[in-house]
Amino acid sequence: MFTKSFKNISFITTIFVLTACGGGGDTSIASPGELGPLSDPTGTTVTGGSTSGNLLTGSCPESEFIQVGSPVAGNNVCAIQGPITTCRFFLSLPFSYLINLMYIPKIINLDLINKDKFTEFNLDMLLEYFGSDKAKKVFDQYPKPAQRKKEKIIGHGYSEFYEKYFHKYINEKCIILELGAFNGNALAAFYFYLKNSLIFSGDIFPDILRYKSKRIKNFYIDSGSEESINTKIVNEETQYDIIIDDASHILKDQIITLFMCFKKLNSKGLFVIEELNFPDTREDMRLSFSKPTLRTILHDIKNKKDFSSKYIKEEDKNYFLKNFQSIEIYMGQKGNDIAFITKK
């Protein structure tokens, strides 16, 4: 297995090197003389770095890759730039991959872990143990594996809200859908907290999930695509007791995910939206999409005001208004909002 992986990595490394540093044409490294001869030096020879007298003034080749630097002892300095930087960058990629590969944990089969180990754990303790940022304290999971620090940082602190709503499901055979599971850290915590649950994990990068189980179903979905939501969720037979949107947090994605998927909740089901405020507070989460944001829409609904959005179909809007029971919005300890919507 290791030999095969090493061969694959070596092959990829070779491709990077050839692409970045060779192959001729515009990608080749340009060196003086390769792009045209230098003019013969003229004038009196100067030795020992003296700056007196006439100087050796050969001209630099004309190329986008050659920069004329400040004269040294009166001589032109021809600095090669561009491709060497590119070459160094691409050469570093496979080695960076190899270094980080050593820190990536193996896929863990949760079915093989002794469940008695977590008998005294509440949900926050489970989320912290498995490294989910839903906990009050957590190891930062977003830097590259080799750059992660051992000190814990403040998490979102959503755990107390989750426990409030999830407690009634502890002994139930519930079906959960988490969108944006990432490495699956929260998913692993839910696996042990909701002992009889069946968990569906949907993500645009499903291969990065670090956990597996007979009770976990992992699949690809793009929460920004109505077609993908229809194909992977709406048109499937499965109905859910809990749906968690922790995916892109982008304005449009939050709206279409809620209003398209709400009909897939069972009666008295729960729909959770994390970082509800991101489209209101972060430019990169609203981009060129049209307001209102989902947070504004939910506040309008709570205040019995009408609303409209180009991303909501009339039939989905009517279904939601007819079937939602309550909307509660909380603020986590990092200042971000989380919404819990219950169904009639």
pLDDT band of 318, cuts 50, 70, 90: very high
pLDDT for residue 104 is more than 90: no
Q: Where is pLDDT greater, at 105 or 238?
A: 238
Tokens standing for 114? 């002794």
The residue among 151 and 10 whose pLDDT is bigger is: 151
Query: What percent of the chain has pLDDT above 90?
Result: 62
115 vs 245, residue with greater confidence: 245
Q: pLDDT tens for residues 265-284?
A: 999 999 999 999 999 999 99
**pLDDT of residue 26 exceeding 50:** no
The mean pLDDT value for 248-269 works out to 98
Confidence of residue 86 (pLDDT cuts 50, 70, 90): very low
Q: Is there a contact between 196 and 174 (Cβ–Cβ < 8 Å)?
A: yes
pLDDT at 29: 38
**pTM listed for this prediction:** 0.71
Instruction: Determine the pLDDT at residue 38.
Output: 42
- Kind of pairing between the strands at 324-331 and 337-343: antiparallel
Average the pLDDT over 239-247 and give the result: 98
Per-residue pLDDT, 140? 72
Q: Are 204 and 182 in contact (CB under 8 A)?
A: no
Q: pLDDT digits over 35-77, tens only?
A: 444 444 444 444 444 444 444 455 666 655 455 655 555 566 5
Return the half-sphere exposure (C-beta side, CA atoms, 13 A cut-off) of residue 161.
23
Q: What does the pLDDT read at residue 32?
A: 42
* Per-residue pLDDT at 206 exceeds 90: yes
Token pair recorded at residue 19? 């692409």
pLDDT in tens, 135-164: 999 877 665 555 556 788 899 999 999 999
Stretch 178-182: mean pLDDT, rounded?
95
How far does Cα 235 stand from its chain's mean position? 27
Position 34 pLDDT exceeds 80: no
- pLDDT attached to residue 30: 39
Among 5-19, 96-110, 117-131, the range scoring the smallest mean pLDDT is 5-19
Inter-CA distances, 113 with 110, 118, 213, 254, Å: 5, 10, 11, 35
In the chain the domains, ranked by start, together with CATH numbers, are 2-101 (no CATH), 108-343 (3.40.50.150)
Cα(115)–Cα(167) distance, integer angstroms: 18
Beta carbons within 8 Å of 311's beta carbon, 6+ residues apart: 252, 255, 256, 259, 289, 290
